[in-house]
Amino acid sequence: MELKIINKAENKLLNRTAIEASVSYAKEITPKRKDLRKLLAAQLGADESLLVIRQFSATLGTSAKLFANLYKTKEDMQKREPKHIIGRETGNKKKPAGKAKK
């Protein structure tokens, strides 16, 4: 699997860096989000817990596009990212409480 960073844009107002990357994974299965986070964090030299993958869109099984946010602090990430996205990234998904059936 090969990850190539296409664009990095720092947003000082929100204390984060927006990252756009392309992933090629010929002859492999579609990579999992946790594997992509590890690879991207290693390439950026950043803390994996401050990295949030916002969108991952695969095209016909051999390549994909990735959009992620890298935050400066955990507090900034908690304030800016929706809870369901943070839950998806950390593996702590909680199902929303629905209406009780009669």
Would you state the pLDDT for residue 22?
Answer: 94
Lookup: tokens for 78: 């908690």
Global pTM? Answer: 0.81
What's residue 59's pLDDT? 77
CA dist., res. 36 & res. 88, Å (int): 13
Per-residue pLDDT of the chain (102 residues; tens, 9 = 90+): 899 999 999 999 999 999 999 999 888 888 888 999 999 999 999 999 999 999 999 877 788 999 999 999 999 999 999 988 888 887 776 655 656 565
Q: Is residue 45 part of a domain?
A: yes
- The answer to whether position 96 is within a domain reads no
Has residue 49 been placed in a domain? yes
The per-residue pLDDT for 75 is 94
The C-alpha atoms of residue 56 and residue 28 are separated, in whole angstroms, by 16
Host domain of residue 21: 2-90
Is residue 85 one of the residues assigned to a domain?
yes
Indicate which CATH number applies to the domain containing 44.
Answer: 3.30.70.330
Residue 61 lies in a domain: yes
Kindly report the backbone phi and psi dihedral angles of residue 16, in degrees, each rounded to the nearest multiple of 5, phi listed first.
-150, 165
The number of C-alpha atoms within 13 Å of 46 and in the hemisphere containing its C-beta is 22
